Structure 1
């Protein structure tokens, strides 16, 4: 009887710990789908705000973010893009997307971007097959954005993500990969967002043509633009 009671007691304690521990650790976990500060230092050039977009061609979060970035950045320069859709086999399939090809600034807001993987997340953006998508993504980021690479490595591949049950966000996907990121560096410091600014579900009933002509009228797009403006 004592052994049985002990086993029950241990089971109850383990159950309670499983429920409570994620909340206890939450202040130490990396937030998702929200901007957070990674440094007080401005890593952009003097008097410049740098917005960096890291994604992959089929990411539904990157697809959603692309419309908000376009609505925001179109006031600060000329953007060229191609229209595409997210991975049809992923969550939020076939979300309309803008794939950026160039940005010419006409203000102090500068925009840089890179796409790491293809639409189906089974090769790199240029079609090469790699064994380790996380390692490959980090190599590209270190080459293209060396000043921001340490933050990506730490917050995306080393520290636990919120709600991940003790794993970094890079290892929550299948296959593990670098997820969509937005980094903003200005005289306000350096901020990072992992994931989406607004939920991709908000784009469910819209096609690319409609979105392009109604960005200023869609409240969730303007909500996202206002969020970007806080950090630029």
Structure 2
């Protein structure tokens, strides 16, 4: 009986420790928490915009930080929403996470970063934990073993993250993160992040998009059209190295994407 009570006590302590870690990581303080809040704000703003036609732009952080929805909206004359998220969330989770916002008459512009397109399984470092954080555990068909690992780690803040948060709290009086700045009513960031000490670098495109990424985007087109929308695609070229190998891989990727939907690059 004593051993049972001791085991129960240890389980209770472990549960409390996991819960505290979860609150930090997913609710307030950790990087995932800021991403969750940004996602929820974007979805809330998008649900408030009712119009016969809208342009919904999505992708990773590249889409989030480089899209100027106000300028595009002024040029097109229809509402434009920036639904860009975070590359490590992965293509297989980003796409279904924004799909509920697609309405009849909408145009969806997907701007997938190359690192997203290279993933052979459509998943990234934050795929499983992001789904849990937004209340949709398993989103993107996360394998059970990986899901269990992500669930466990969600209650385990890293030393680096806790150290950063502690310094922020001391120096700024609050927690901050890469996505902690608010977004405006179009989903655009309200703070411009400038390059500081890091030097500019060009991304070598060593391979075209994975077969999985192409297949998932093709499926996404069907899902968008089933909701009455239209899908168009775009490739970011500005970051790519201009050597022959990179150019050829960009062209191969663009050719595959163009078979699915109109592609801008």
Q: TM-score, with normalisation over the residues of structure 1?
A: 0.27
The structure that is strand-richer by fraction is 1
The structure that is helix-richer by fraction is 2
Q: TM-score, with normalisation over the residues of structure 2?
A: 0.25
